[in-house]
Amino acid sequence: MAASPRIVLLHATPVAMEPIRNAFARRWPTAETVNLLDDSLSVDRAREPELTDNLIERFVAFGRYAHRSGADGILITCSAFGPAIDRLIDELPIPVLKPNEAMFRAAISQGRRIGMLATFAPAVVTMREEFDEFVRQAASDASLTTIVVDRAIDLLRQGDAATHNELVAARAPELKTSDAIMLAHFSTSRAAEAVRAVVDVPVLTAPDAAVDLMQQLLAA
C-alpha cells in the first residue's frame, strides 16, 4: 500500500464531512483524503418514499467519477443509498466501503440486542436490510431496535450541533437494555459523548470503525 493512498469520500450531505475528517486525522493522518459532495442526493432522497432507479443511477455515476479521480479506495459517508453502493462494490476494481459496515459487525459481536439512534428516517430501511445481511453472515440471532430522533438533523444542518446532541442523548435511555447502541449516521457521531453520559452500554459510531477497516482493506 502506498504511504499516502488516495481515499475519496463520497458525501450526500455536508453534515457528514466533519466527523470523517476528524476520524482520519486521529486514526490515519497519512492518507490523502479527497471530498466529493453532492447534497442534492440527500435532498431528493428525503422526498422519495423509496430509493428510486434514478437516484441509484445518479449515485453510481458519482462513484464512477470518484474512481476516475484516482481513488485507491472509496468511502461512502451517507447511509441512505445501500443498493447503489452494492452496485459500486460489484463494478469498481478498488475497495468501496459502506458507511456502517464496520460498525454493524462490531455491534453484532457485542450481543443479541442492538439499539440504533437515527436522525434521517429515509436511511433506516436500507440500513435495516444491511444489518440483517451482516447478521446472516455472522450466523447470529441479533435483532435491531431503531429510534428515529425527530428534528435533530434539521437543527444540525442549521448549525445547532449542541441541540442535535441533546435530542439524540435524550432518546438513548429508551435503549438502555441493549447490548450495544449504534449512532446510525456519520453526522450522528457528534452525539457520542452525550449518549455515553446517559447510558452504561457500549456506544458505537461509524467514522472511526470505517477508517480502520479501509486501512485494513488497502493493506491486504
Domain 101-205 has CATH 3.40.50.1860: yes
Which of 2-6, 7-11, 127-131, 210-214: highest mean pLDDT?
A: 7-11
Torsion of CA 53, 104, 32, 158, to 10 degrees: 70
- Please give the share of the chain, as a percent, with pLDDT higher than 70: 99
Is the pLDDT confidence value at 24 over 70?
yes
Please state, in angstroms and rounded to a whole number, the distance separating the CA atoms of residues 83 and 53. 10
Please state, in angstroms and rounded to a whole number, the distance separating the CA atoms of residues 147 and 16. 19
* CB-based contact 42:16 (threshold 8 Å): no
CATH 3.40.50.1860 location in the chain = 6-99+208-219, 101-205
Q: What is the CATH number of domain 6-99+208-219?
A: 3.40.50.1860
Please state, in angstroms and rounded to a whole number, the distance separating the CA atoms of residues 6 and 72. 5
DSSP string, 188-205: GGGGHHHHHTT-SS-EE-
Is the pLDDT confidence value at 3 over 80?
no
Is the pLDDT confidence value at 144 over 80?
yes
pTM of the model: 0.84
pLDDT of residue 220: 74
pLDDT of residue 2: 61
- Stronger pLDDT, 173 or 219, i.e. the higher one: 173
* CB-based contact 109:139 (threshold 8 Å): no
Q: Grid coordinates standing for 20?
A: 470523517
Predicted confidence (pLDDT) per residue in 151-208, tens digit: 999 999 999 999 999 999 999 999 999 999 999 999 999 999 999 999 999 999 999 9
Predicted confidence (pLDDT) per residue in 131-140, tens digit: 999 999 999 9
